[in-house]
Amino acid sequence: MLPVALITLARKISKIIYFILLFLVLGRALPRPEIYLDYDIARDICHFLFGSVNADTMYDTFFYISLIIVIFLSAVLYIITLQLISTIRSK
């Protein structure tokens, strides 16, 4: 029989791998933020973050916005699926 510490380590590593896979799948599945985000809102965020609006800062702003959205969605799906798994296992 495996030691409890080794089983715990394997579960933690599998959870990390699961989150990374969710992150990658959502990052590839979502369209570019230019499609679903209004340009004026992105321009205002860009001006707030960088102080000036040009092509490079707009590209950075769209990247940061999409990164935040993917991290948020990954975290929400991760929490929901882990709660669902624990609910199913407890029954």
pLDDT given for residue 9 in this prediction: 92
What is the arithmetic mean of pLDDT over 58-81? Answer: 96
pLDDT given for residue 1 in this prediction: 67
Structural domain tally of the chain? 1
- pLDDT of 83 strictly over 70: yes
- pLDDT of 91 strictly over 70: yes
User: In the 3-class helix/strand/coil scheme, how is the chain assigned residue by residue?
Assistant: CCCHHHHHHHHHHHHHHHHHHHHHHHHHHCCCHHHHCCHHHHHHHHHHHHCCCCHHHHHHHHHHHHHHHHHHHHHHHHHHHHHHHHHHHHC
Query: Is the pLDDT higher at 62 or at 37?
Result: 62
User: Domain range holding 64?
Assistant: 4-90
- pLDDT of 24 strictly over 80: yes
The model's confidence at residue 34, banded by pLDDT at 50, 70 and 90, is: confident
